[in-house]
Amino acid sequence: MYTGLKGKHLIYEQDWEKEEIEALLDMALDLKKMRALKQSHKYLDTRTLFLLFFEESTRTRNAFETGITQLGGHANYLIPKLTQIDHGEGPKDTVEVLSRYGEGIGIRNTTWGVGNRYMRELAKYSRIPVINLQCDLFHPTQSLADLLTLKEKLGDLRGKKFVMSWTYAPKYVRPISMPQSLITLMPRFGLDVTLAHPPEFFLMPEIVEQARENARKAGSRFEIVHDMDEAFQDADVIYAKSWGALAYTQDEPTILQLIEKYPGWKVTEQGMQLTKEDSRYMHCMPIDRGIEVENAVADGSHSVIYDEAENRLHIAKAIMALTME
C-alpha cells in the first residue's frame, strides 16, 4: 500500500500532486480487482468514518458507507439537525471531538459561499483527514471516479477531446462544483477540454484561469464555446449536465428564468452523431431524463454512466485506504 497520503485532506483536486492522484487511481484499480476476486481487503479494520451531510445523497453516501464496510470499518452518518451543529456548534469544536473518536470525516455542504469555507475551517483544526463529498465549489470524489472511468475506457488520455457542457434542467438551481472540478482536473492528465455553456452560465473566473494554467503546464488545450453543436464536433467524451448561473447572480428566481432561455441545450442522438464514433457519454447523476438528455443516449452504446457510478465506490475506498490511519 502507498503510505505517503496518510492524514492528507481532499478538499480540492488541485491540492494533490499529479503523482498522488495517480497513486490513488492505482489503489482504486487494485481494490476493484480484489472485490471482483472476492479477496478480503480489510485495511481499515475497526476504523470509523464520519459522514456529515448537509444535503441528501445517493451515490456519494452509499459509496462511502459501503466502501468503509468492505475495508473493515464503520460509517457514522450525521446530519446537522441530529447533532449540535444545528444548535450553533462551530466547526472547531465539532471536529476536535470527532477527531478523537474516529479516523476520517467526509462532508457534503453545497451552500453557496459556505460549503468550501466550512470544510477548510474543519481541516484547519482536524487531526484526521477531511474529505470533500461535494461543496459549493468542487466535487473531487466524483471527478476522480470520472478520471478513473476514462482511463479504463480510453487508455491513453493525451489529445482526447473532453467536452464539459451545460444542459437545460428546470425547477431548482444546481451547484457549479461538478464542472469546476472537471475543467481543472482533466487537463492535468492530457485531455483537451472544451467548456460549453450559454453566456450567463460561466464558471468562476479564477477557476477557469486555473484550468487554463493546468492545460498550459500539461501541454493540453482548454477552450470555451457557447454553441453545443460546435463543442460536440469530433469529441471523444461528452460530459453534459446542468448547473446554476451562480457566478453571474445568486438570485434564485433570476437563475431559474435564465435556465428557461435555453431549453435546446439537450444531449440528443443527433448531437452525438457529431462526436467520434466511439465517443463516451458521461453524467454524474441524477439525470433529468428526457430533459437534459434523450433516453436513447443515456441508455445507448455511448453511455458509461453506470460504470462511472460504480467507480464512485472504488475511488471512495482508495481515498479512505490511503488517507485514514
In degrees rounded to 5, what are phi and psi of residue 5? -100, 5
Cα distance between residue 84 and residue 117, in whole Å: 19
Question: Looking at this protein, which amino acid is placed at residue 144?
Answer: L
Assess whether 148 and 261 both reside in one domain.
yes
Assess whether 163 and 286 both reside in one domain.
yes
Assess whether 150 and 104 both reside in one domain.
no
Assess whether 242 and 259 both reside in one domain.
yes
Assess whether 157 and 288 both reside in one domain.
yes
Domain presence at residue 4: no
Domain presence at residue 167: yes
Cα distance between residue 72 and residue 135, in whole Å: 27
- Write the DSSP assignment of 85-121 as a string of letters: GGGT--HHHHHHHHHHH-SEEEEEE--TTTHHHHHHH
Which CATH number does the domain housing residue 152 bear?
3.40.50.1370
pTM above 0.95, yes or no: yes
Closest CA to 211 of 239, 191, 228, 237: 191
pLDDT at residue 1 in the model: 56
Domain presence at residue 33: yes
Assess whether 59 and 195 both reside in one domain.
no
Quick check: 117 and 136 in contact, CB under 8 A?
Answer: no
Domain presence at residue 29: yes
Assess whether 73 and 147 both reside in one domain.
no
Domain presence at residue 3: no
Pairing of strands 192-196, 161-166: parallel
Assess whether 150 and 276 both reside in one domain.
yes
What residues make up the domain containing 95? 13-139+312-323
Assess whether 172 and 278 both reside in one domain.
yes
Assess whether 77 and 208 both reside in one domain.
no
Domain presence at residue 283: yes
> H helices within 71-204, ranges in order?
91-101, 115-125, 140-154, 177-185
pLDDT at residue 57 in the model: 96
Assess whether 117 and 198 both reside in one domain.
no
In degrees rounded to 5, what are phi and psi of residue 213? -65, -40
Domain presence at residue 5: no
Q: Provide block-wise average pLDDT over 10 residues at a time, the chain (325 residues).
A: 86 97 97 98 98 97 98 98 95 97 98 98 98 98 98 98 98 98 98 98 98 98 98 98 98 98 98 98 98 98 98 98 97
pLDDT at residue 150 in the model: 98
Assess whether 52 and 130 both reside in one domain.
yes
Cα distance between residue 75 and residue 61, in whole Å: 10
Domain presence at residue 1: no
When divided into structural domains, the chain yields a total of 2
